[in-house]
């Protein structure tokens, strides 16, 4: 079998398994077998880039970098919906519909209004060719590479039969091969929570809600990162030149059959009271969905009737959105506690009398910072309003003024932001332009030290899972560890026999922790194994503010050694992909502090890797040694990843933007005009794909 045939066969086979899994929840092969076939395909595609098919499942893992998204004009403008919060207004709308249809009977389709970002997806000849954001409704951004990472979205419909007899035709003739669909792209709740935990860990602010998180992720330059965030989308609209369907319902059924992710939550009803029943039914239930929701969309089912009703300037008359009011409840503010994080930031937390809100029991709510406390004017004992809207974390929106108490009692109980650290007593400070107060006692404040050690040992960093929160606390209390480098001086004799009753922070339950032979051995083994973690993980483990996992990987790949990183200037740091001013500043700050350099030195002595392993890319030549490169557009003989690999394996360095320091801008098809202009202004040498090949 030729490479082309095998590539086609593997592509179809993997797409078939993928469809089975995402559309029917059926796994016909194990994850391992799937990965094995995918590896084979990727290897073949690397050897024959020209044979990679547009629906190759390898698009799912991302990897391509798009620096500037092209602006695309929508074929059919993306309108918005008129909306209402009131049942009576819905009834009035229904009256207008009835009148507009001259008394004919009609049906509504009720759908959940998903709260993400609207996407327009174009299929040509059965292949997903373009994914575009709504933008201003007329023009949006072409984010196709990112869209292709959505695993529930077929990259191709009507896949051909493969030589595998098990695989029949999938896809569906009803929807044709050339059409546009619209849907809502979203970040599943569990992913949102995971990302926020990661952001808190590196000292970044939390993302406000899943909608913003989805919007930000869909527009990220690195599709590899997008792929890791498991975005998804629900499809709710079909459009094409042919009149394939008479009703919206028919189109939803056909889309579903063809493998698209159409939510099963829609319902066909005959009158507005049934619409209202649907609204009430979903008002609570919607919180259990994987996607944030903000209302219900009601649409006329029949396309001909839609045409009769037509549009206003901004929105169709045949549809309306009913929006749920953010659920708000009143409860007692029992106390406000102040928590000190790893970075020293002090966060106020409202301790509340438990209250049921959007299907969860709320006991605590963040108050963000000192300004927020001031704004709310809180006093302990107040009845406060707690709300859970698009946000997943509940928030206190104000004092329930209908239940205000005696002003004198309130004055005595006003919540004050402390001047000193609640954990160590140091005087707190606030940086110009920042909302948070910080404790300056980095080396002596227990929650900061503990936070740094917890960050260091986590799986994504040094992966020492034999040490947990409780054990760290004990080792700190006993004065055995003061910073992360002390872990590498631990011995059997220092640990054996230590014992303590520890109160678990989340459950409040007492647990006895004792360091017996097996425990000690596990801890020491875990620490020993951590010495094999690559430099990128060590760099992440150091806990430099704003340096997350991906940034650490990029820094390690670029500088290769800690010495080179420490020697880098602000300008050089900024040339690393993923590193902007904020990260560069934070790195410089961290690396200039004596105490951090001392810890790094101790970790080196302890045996940790401060050099990248040389297996990242196979070394081909030194042809590009010492030269920096950037590319724009697409290329005939390389995918973006391949081009990056070529540059690196021949000794060149890839940088993130056009600057005077850039040696070569490689210009491909559809190159970004702003980049070309900047390169021209700065006198940067621009070369074609062929000239690049000649350099090699």
Residue 80 or 489 with smaller CB distance to ligand IVH: 80
> From the CB of 283, what's the least distance to ligand IVH, in Å?
16
Return the bridge partners of 438, or none. 345, 429
Q: Taking Cα atoms as reference points, which of 33, 32, 56, 55 lies closest to residue 45? A: 56
Q: How far is CA 470 from each of CA 441, 473, 679, rounded to the nearest angstrom?
A: 22, 5, 55
Helix (H, G, I), strand (E, B) or coil at 430: strand
- Reported residue count of the chain is 696
Judged by beta carbon, residue 14 or residue 181, the one nearer ligand IVH is 181
Residue written as token pair 């947990």: 468
379 forms beta bridges with: 414
Are 669 and 675 within 8 A, CB to CB? no
Structure tokens at 163: 């030589």
Torsion of CA 357, 359, 362, 367, to 10 degrees: -60
Residue 103, both tokens:
């008394």
Q: 287: burial class by Cβ within 10 Å (0-12, 13-18, 19+)?
A: middle
Q: Would you say 457 and 467 are in contact if contact means Cβ atoms under 8 Å apart?
A: yes
Backbone angles phi, psi at 420, to 5 degrees: -115, 155
* CB closer to ligand IVH, 81 vs 128: 81
Q: Which two tokens stand for residue 275?
A: 């619409």
Judged by beta carbon, residue 135 or residue 316, the one nearer ligand IVH is 316
Instruction: Give whichever of 237 and 301 is closer to ligand IVH, judged by the CB atom.
Output: 237
Least CB distance to ligand IVH at residue 215 (A): 11
Euclidean distance between CA atoms 499 and 638, whole angstroms: 60
Rank residues 83 and 596 by Cβ distance to ligand IVH and give the closer one. 83
Helix intervals (H) in 189-271? 189-201, 210-218, 223-228, 248-257
* Per-residue exposure over 64-81, b if at least 16 CB sit within 10 Å of its own CB, e if not: bbbbebeebebeeebeeb
Which residues sit at the interface with ligand IVH, rule CB under 6 A?
79-81, 111, 113-114, 118, 134, 184, 236-237, 297, 316, 321
- Among the options 52, 113, 156, 554, which is catalytic? 113
Nearer to ligand IVH, 300 or 658 (CB): 300
113 classed as catalytic: yes
Residue number of the CB atom closest to ligand IVH:
118
**C-beta neighbour count of 585 within 10 angstroms:** 15
Give the integer Cα–Cα distance in Å for 469 and 476: 11
- What does the DSSP 8-state code read for residue 427? B
d(CA 484, CA 486) in angstroms, rounded, equals: 5
> Which of residues 140 and 203 has its CB atom nearest to ligand IVH in the complex?
140
- Minimum Å gap between C-beta 577 and ligand IVH is 31
Catalytic residue ranges:
113
């Amino acid at each position: 079998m030729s490479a082309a045939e095998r590539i086609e066969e593997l592509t179809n086979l993997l797409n078939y398994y993928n469809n089975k899994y995402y559309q029917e929840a059926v796994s016909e092969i194990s994850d391992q077998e799937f990965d094995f076939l995918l590896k084979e395909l990727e290897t073949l595609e690397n050897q024959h880039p020209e044979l990679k098919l547009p629906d190759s499942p390898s698009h799912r893992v991302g990897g391509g970098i798009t620096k500037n998204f092209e602006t695309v004009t929508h074929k059919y403008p993306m309108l918005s919906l008129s909306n209402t919060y009131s049942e009576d207004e819905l009834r009035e709308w229904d009256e207008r519909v009835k009148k507009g249809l001259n008394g004919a009977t009609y049906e509504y389709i009720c759908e959940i209004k998903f709260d993400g970002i609207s996407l327009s997806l174009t299929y040509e000849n059965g292949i997903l060719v373009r994914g575009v954001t709504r933008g201003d409704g007329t023009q949006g951004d072409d984010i196709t590479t990112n869209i292709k990472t959505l695993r529930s979205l077929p990259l191709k419909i009507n896949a051909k039969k493969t030589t595998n007899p098990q695989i029949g035709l999938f896809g569906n003739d009803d929807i044709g091969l050339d059409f546009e669909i619209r849907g809502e792209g979203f970040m599943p709740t569990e992913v949102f929570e995971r990302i926020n935990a990661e952001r808190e860990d590196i000292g970044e602010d939390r993302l406000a809600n899943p909608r913003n998180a989805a919007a930000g992720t869909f527009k990220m330059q690195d599709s590899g990162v997008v792929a890791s965030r498991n975005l998804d989308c629900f499809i709710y609209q079909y459009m094409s030149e042919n009149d394939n369907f008479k009703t919206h319902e028919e189109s939803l059924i056909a889309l579903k059959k063809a493998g698209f992710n159409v939510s099963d939550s829609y319902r066909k009803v005959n009158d507005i009271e049934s619409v209202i029943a649907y609204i009430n039914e979903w008002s609570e239930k919607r919180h259990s969905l994987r996607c944030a929701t903000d209302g219900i969309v009601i649409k006329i089912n029949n396309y001909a009737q839609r045409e009769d009703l037509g549009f206003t300037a901004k929105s169709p008359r045949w549809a309306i959105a009913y929006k749920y009011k953010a659920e708000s409840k009143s409860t007692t503010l029992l106390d406000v506690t102040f928590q000190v994080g790893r970075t020293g930031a002090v966060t106020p937390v409202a301790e509340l009398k438990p209250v049921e809100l959007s299907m969860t029991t709320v006991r605590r709510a963040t108050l963000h910072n000192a300004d927020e406390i001031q704004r709310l004017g809180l006093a302990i004992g107040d009845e406060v309003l707690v709300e859970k809207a698009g946000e997943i974390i509940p928030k206190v929106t104000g004092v329930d003024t209908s239940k205000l108490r005696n002003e004198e009692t309130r004055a005595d109980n006003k919540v004050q932001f402390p001047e000193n650290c609640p954990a160590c007593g140091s005087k707190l400070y606030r940086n110009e332009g920042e909302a948070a107060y910080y404790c300056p006692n980095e080396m002596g404040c227990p929650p900061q030290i503990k936070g740094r050690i917890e960050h260091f040992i986590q799986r994504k960093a040094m992966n020492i899972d034999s040490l947990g929160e409780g054990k760290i606390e004990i080792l700190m209390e006993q004065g055995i560890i003061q910073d992360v480098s002390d872990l590498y001086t631990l011995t059997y004799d220092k640990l054996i026999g230590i014992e303590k009753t520890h109160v678990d922070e989340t459950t409040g339950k007492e647990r006895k922790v004792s360091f017996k032979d097996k425990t000690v051995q596990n801890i020491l083994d875990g620490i020993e194994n951590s010495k094999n973690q690559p430099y990128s993980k060590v760099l992440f483990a150091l806990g430099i503010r704003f340096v997350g996992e991906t940034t650490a990987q990029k820094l390690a790949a670029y500088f290769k050694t800690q010495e080179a990183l420490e020697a880098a200037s602000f300008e050089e740091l900024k040339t690393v992909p993923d590193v902007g001013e904020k990260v560069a500043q934070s790195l410089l700050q961290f690396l200039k502090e004596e105490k951090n350099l001392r810890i790094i030195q101790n970790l080196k002595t302890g045996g940790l890797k401060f050099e990248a392993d040389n297996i990242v890319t196979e070394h081909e030549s030194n042809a590009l040694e010492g030269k920096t490169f950037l590319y724009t557009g697409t290329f005939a003989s390389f995918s973006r990843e391949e081009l990056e690999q070529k540059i690196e394996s021949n000794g060149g360095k890839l940088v993130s933007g056009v600057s005077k320091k850039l040696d070569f801008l490689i210009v491909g098809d559809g190159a970004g005009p702003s980049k070309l202009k900047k390169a021209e202004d700065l006198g940067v040498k621009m070369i074609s794909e062929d000239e690049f090949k000649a350099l090699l």
